Each structure stands twice: as structure tokens, then as C-alpha cells.
Amino acid sequence: MTYLMKPMTYLMKRWIGVLLHVTLALGILVAQPFTAAAQQKKAALITYAPVAGSDWDRGHFIGWESMIKKTGMASSLVEGVNFDQAASVLRRLAREGNDLIVASSAGYGRALLDVAPEFPDTFFVMYSSIGSLKGIKNLAEFRLNWNEAGYLSATVACLAKASDRKIGMVLGEPITAFTRFGAGATQAVKDHCPKGEDDLLVSWIRTFTDISRGKQASIALVAQGAEVLFGAVNGAFNGIVGAVKQVNKRGKNAKIVMEYMDRCEVIPEACITSFTFDWIRQYDRLGALFVEGKLEPKTYQIWVKNDGVKLVFPLRNVDSSVEKGMKDVIAKIKAGEINVSPTDQLKP
């Protein structure tokens, strides 16, 4: 028995060693599934503002970094690209040999439609909302459902406000994304505010970056009776935050729904929640499709049904019934019992 055990023990050790090596090798492959396929690929992201300057661009950058890390692609970031510059920047990046170019704002839509056909070997992606891809074979859209984002923001505002008060929405430039956000909010107040559209005050500030204009508009909305403020304005949202802090110091009880990322820590005493986009998971999805050669010239939905558009729970500074009500609304959207129109627009 002792004689047989020794060679068996030796063989078992050899097999365990082999299994460990195989397991480690598989683990490396799982951890970096795309590196080999993507080593020679180059990708570029353009943003409207510096990524440190707005939650919108910061959200894109966080998702972008995750995608680049997981795919192993070489990458470049071009910040502060205004809409008039977009076409020339896109052409330069394509000529530099980028295989994938992602544009982070709906305002780049026209430039993408013009430039993409000129560079058939580069895949262009609109990561927001473009409306129509016009049949272009190297252009895809990762469509954020802005209507649902507006619907969720306005619904929680309606449920949180006092019955005799209003809610205030601040919107930036009238790009497709924001006009759809406004339409979603308008649908929500019809469904969930006691007086319907009469409970909604709207201010278009026609800027993404002017904090003072965002603040002035927000103070005016509170003066008109708004108790809960929300909106989609990018960097100018800091003006809404400043306005809520200022009016509350003067005895108001204004509250706020933050945009794009979980940012209640900047105004914890008045923040109810944040509407967010699932930046990391959706960018990882984009990267995986691209390096596997499966990215198609079509629209990929980012919406409530796949948790791409959501609110941050638990809610703050509101009664527990508000949270229950919001969870019920989200469940009904996922079940198809509430249908938020994905294409309606609210124009200034």
C-alpha cells in the first residue's frame, strides 16, 4: 500500500500543478478577453467640455476609461470640442488612423452624418441621441433614452412636492437630447402631478456651461412657486445647486434632483436623488461589440428596461411613500404598463 501511494501522490501533485497552470491561464484570458484582438486598434472620444468641468463629460470619461482598460485599445481624448469644430476634429481623428471614434453629445449629430461616409474604414458612434442614422454603414448610435430620464426626474419631483407647489425644470441648449428630456418631463407631470402641466415651470437657458445663468433661472423658478428643481444642462447645473443653497438660506425649502451621476454629496441637505446613465456597463458593451467585430450600424438602446437609465436609491429628504411610488413607476415602465414616448420633443 505504501509503495503504491508514493507514485500516486507524485502523479496527483503533477496533475494539480497542470490544473493550476491551466486555471491561471484561463483566468488571464477571462480578465483580459479582448487585449489580443484589440492591440492594434485605436479609439478616440470627443467631449464638449473638459471632463472635469461637467458631470455629463465626466460620466462619459469614466465609462470610456473602463472600456479602454478592458479592451486594451490605444486611446485618445479630445476635450472642449464645440459643435462648429466637430466636423474638422472628426476628420483629423479619422485621418490619424483611429478605428473607432465616439462623439459624446447629440450636438455632434450633423457632423457625424457629414463625416462618417468620408471614412468607411472608421466606425463612428453617437453616444447620446442622433435621431436617424441615414443608412450610413459605419455609424452606430448608443441612444440614451432622454425621454425616460425626463420622465423619472419629473415624476419624483411631482411625488415629492407639496400639493400647492410647483416643480421647475431648467434646460440648456435645445439639442435633441434636451428637447426629448423636456417632453418626457411633460408626459410625467400629466401622469403624476395634481394639476398636470400647470404644475410644471420651464426655463431654457441656452447654454451648457454658464453657471450664473443656471443660477438666475433657478432662483426665478423658485420665486414663481417651484419647490423641486431638476433639469439637463451639463456644466451649468452647478448654478441650479447654487440657487437651491441660496434660497434655502433665506428660508425656502427647495429640493433638487441631480443629473447624470450620483452627486447628492454636493448638496445632501436638499438632494432627493440623481438620475443617472449606466456609463461603465454601456461603454463596456460598446467596446466588446467593436473589438469582436459585432458592432452594427444601428441604434443600441440605453433605457429603463436594461437599467441604462435609472434613479439612485434610497431617496433622500422625502417621505418613504415617495420612494415606494417611484419604484412602482419604474416597475411599470419595465413591464410595459407605462409607455414613455421615446421621440416626443419639447421645443422652446
Quick check: is 223 in a domain?
A: yes
Residues 6+ apart with CB under 8 A from 186: 150, 154, 197, 200, 344, 346
**H or E element, residue 177:** helix 176-192
- The pLDDT, as a whole number, for residue 40 is 83
- The pLDDT, as a whole number, for residue 30 is 43
CA dist 210 and 68 (Å) reads: 31
- The pLDDT, as a whole number, for residue 129 is 86
Quick check: is 175 in a domain?
A: yes
pLDDT tens digits along 64-79:
999 999 999 999 999 9
Among the residue ranges 87-91, 160-164, 168-172, the one predicted with the least confidence is: 160-164
Q: Is the pLDDT of residue 3 over 50?
A: no
- Work out the angle at residue 324's Cα, subtended by the Cα atoms of residues 318 and 329, and round it to the nearest 5 degrees: 115
Q: Where are the beta strands (DSSP E) in 39-132?
A: 42-46, 74-78, 100-103, 123-128
Q: Is the pLDDT of residue 206 over 60?
A: yes
pLDDT tens digits along 235-258:
999 999 999 999 999 999 999 999
Model confidence at 7, pLDDT cuts 50, 70, 90, reads very low
Quick check: is 182 in a domain?
A: yes
Q: Is the pLDDT of residue 9 over 50?
A: no
Kindly state whether residues 289 and 324 are assigned to the same domain: no
Give buried/exposed letters for 259-271 (b at 16+ CB in 10 A, else e). Answer: bbbebbeebeebb
- The pLDDT, as a whole number, for residue 25 is 41
Kindly state whether residues 135 and 196 are assigned to the same domain: no
Kindly state whether residues 160 and 242 are assigned to the same domain: yes
CA dist 213 and 234 (Å) reads: 12
Kindly state whether residues 42 and 101 are assigned to the same domain: yes
Kindly state whether residues 128 and 257 are assigned to the same domain: no
Kindly state whether residues 124 and 50 are assigned to the same domain: yes
Quick check: is 18 in a domain?
A: no
Quick check: is 2 in a domain?
A: no
Quick check: is 11 in a domain?
A: no
Kindly state whether residues 88 and 228 are assigned to the same domain: no
Kindly state whether residues 59 and 176 are assigned to the same domain: no
Q: Is the pLDDT of residue 21 over 50?
A: no
User: How buried is residue 30: exposed, middle or buried, by Cβ count under 10 Å (0-12/13-18/19+)?
Assistant: exposed
Quick check: is 201 in a domain?
A: yes
CB 156 within 8 A of CB 322: yes
Mean pLDDT for the chain overall: 90
Kindly state whether residues 193 and 296 are assigned to the same domain: no
This prediction's pTM: 0.85
- The pLDDT, as a whole number, for residue 32 is 52
Residues 6+ apart with CB under 8 A from 92: none
Q: Where are the alpha helices (DSSP H) in 224-265?
A: 237-249
Kindly state whether residues 104 and 188 are assigned to the same domain: no
Q: At what angle do helices 320-335 and 146-160 cross, to 10 degrees?
A: 150
- Work out the angle at residue 64's Cα, subtended by the Cα atoms of residues 54 and 75, and round it to the nearest 5 degrees: 115
- The pLDDT, as a whole number, for residue 36 is 59
The total of structural domains in the chain comes to: 2
CATH of the domain at 109: 3.40.50.2300
Range of the domain at 209: 147-277+318-335
CA distances from 258 to 133, 178, 287 (A): 30, 15, 28
Kindly state whether residues 328 and 197 are assigned to the same domain: yes
DSSP, residue by residue, 256-311 = EEEEES--GGGSTTTEEEEEEE-HHHHHHHHHHHHHTT---SSEEEESGGGTSEEE
Please state the rounded mean pLDDT for residues 180-205: 98
Kindly state whether residues 157 and 260 are assigned to the same domain: yes
Give the whole-number percent of the chain exceeding pLDDT 90: 85
Quick check: is 242 in a domain?
A: yes
Q: Is the pLDDT of residue 62 over 90?
A: yes
* Helix/strand/coil percent split, the chain, to 5: 50, 20, 30
CA dist 13 and 272 (Å) reads: 59
Please state the rounded mean pLDDT for residues 112-138: 96
CA R_g for the chain: 24
